[in-house]
Structure 1
């Protein structure tokens, strides 16, 4: 819901962040031009001093108390600065940089100074009630942000392990040796000495050492994956609240087809938030449709893909598992009736539509306990 405030009592500040310096623009009520200051990266005391001095000067000129609202774009620096400013009594607004309205005529001059000055004007317009000029990013708590690390780290490690497996298999295949399966068995290292190439030669010494070192990395990454999974299980069973909404993970895991990994990803990335309607859920994940209707042209551009990428990938994967382990549910029957005979391309299009419906159904199940129609629970 859009809540406008009286910006005549607001000093708008914007911060352009980089690794080498911060550029702060400050504009009091009625100021036609913002004052710009360049400070050292991470110098929060200097930043607060600039904001306090600018506010005091504006209050002396106007003769009434004012408040400060500061904004910056989310990116490399994350949310720590917003939390710190809020703790110091300064309202902080974090914007999505991809949501700013930009002119499209010709080339646009871009400098940190111009960007900071422009953000003060955007912030004032946004505070006045026009939420179309930019989109605010929800500032998560430390616990909510940290809870995402479990599955994000696991995903990174799994991808690294798959890369190592692919390289080992590729090197061996170059010499006529083929390994089967998605993993590397424990006996591969012992067989290196006795392996014969396709033309009957033993492995060359440098090749053998290269593969041996990759096997060492493979074993290390596999141990780290096991450690991450153990950390996840401990966090979900911990009642101290280090993993927020752990009860939602446990509830979601009760559905057949939904494993603990999938449930943890969806809760940490999506379902820890509060959504007003089902459309907000689909839009946040990037599964909402994006039509193109202009003049005589009316077509569907597919999903927006503007939301949480990891959650979207997880839901698409879950949709295939849903068809397998929940075959009698209403969602599975709907998919088979509409897309089951459409060929491979049609089925892939339909699985994205199923993922969107599934995201909404799981949201209702997590929040209100409404079991998807026809779905079964484990055990």
Structure 2
């Protein structure tokens, strides 16, 4: 059986660069912060937040205790961390300004749902909903890698779990949004379904259930963008005036 390979246009691929760069910058920020903390712990020094407002005072009080080479390395790392934080804020501000100006209506529509922010809506639209034309819910789930992968050979029938063959960025985000949905949309039909079926079963059942919820939520968001169908009993954010 042949499968259709859908390739984004050069313009659509270029539109993905902004949020992908933002993701790399956030990873860099975390790595630098952890590295600085690890270097300080080696000398029995601990700080709550690296690079924050109180960092300069803390560094003036404790930095002199460190060897010269280590102190210089940390100062260079803090400079790179500060640059990464500045660039993150710049990109986030650019995204919000673009949506506020009305240039990204699909993102603005998704961000109206409680539990979904502009950054998350941006990734979903640019990676998934903005350039793919889905014909049914199965195509939505398959594109995320949230489709089952049964193994059938003779009398042997085994369920191997989800395929994980789709867009990993969108799949990871949908899992995060599923947890967020439970918190910010407690009255929705999806949350009630999850609580009735998976919540009483312990941590393992909740981890299994959150994948099922992510699949259903992705389908619900697709219908919301495609047909204007708000997920059942889901609430919207108030419109700013």
Q: Larger relative contact order (C-alpha < 8 A, sep ≥ 6)?
A: 2
Given the alignment, which residue of 248, 268, 284 partners 2:126? 268
In 2: Cα distance, 1:299 partner to 1:374 partner:
36
Deviations 1:84-126 (A, max 9, x none): xxxxxxxxxxxxxxxxxxxxxxxxxxxxxxxxxxxxxxxxxxx
In 2: Cα distance, 1:251 partner to 1:325 partner:
17
Deviations 1:120-163 (A, max 9, x none): xxxxxxxxxxxx25x44323233321221121111110001000
Tell me if 1:248 matches 2:111: no
Q: Per residue, is there more strand in 1 or in 2?
A: 1
In 1: Cα distance, 2:48 partner to 2:204 partner:
28
**What's the counterpart of residue 85 of structure 1?**
none
Change in CA separation of 1:184 and 1:349 when aligned onto 2, cut-off 3 Å: farther
In 1: Cα distance, 2:157 partner to 2:123 partner:
36
**What's the counterpart of residue 61 of structure 2?**
194
Q: Give TM-score scaled by structure 1 length.
A: 0.60
Given the alignment, which residue of 178, 187, 194 partners 1:335? 194
1:238 Cα deviation after fit: 5.1
In 2: Cα distance, 1:353 partner to 1:345 partner:
13
Contact conserved, 1:193 with 1:202, CA < 8 A, in 2? Answer: no
User: What secondary structure does 2:16 align onto?
Assistant: helix
Computing the radius of gyration from Cα coordinates, the structure with the larger value is 1
Q: Give TM-score scaled by structure 2 length.
A: 0.92
Equivalent runs, 1:1-379 vs 2, <5 Å: 132-133=1-2, 135-180=3-48, 184-195=51-62, 202-237=65-100, 246-272=104-130, 273-379=132-238
Contact conserved, 2:51 with 2:82, CA < 8 A, in 1? Answer: no
- Equivalent residue pairs, number: 237
Structure 1 residue runs of 5 or longer lacking an equivalent are 1-131
Deviations 1:21-46 (A, max 9, x none): xxxxxxxxxxxxxxxxxxxxxxxxxx
Contact conserved, 1:340 with 1:347, CA < 8 A, in 2? Answer: yes
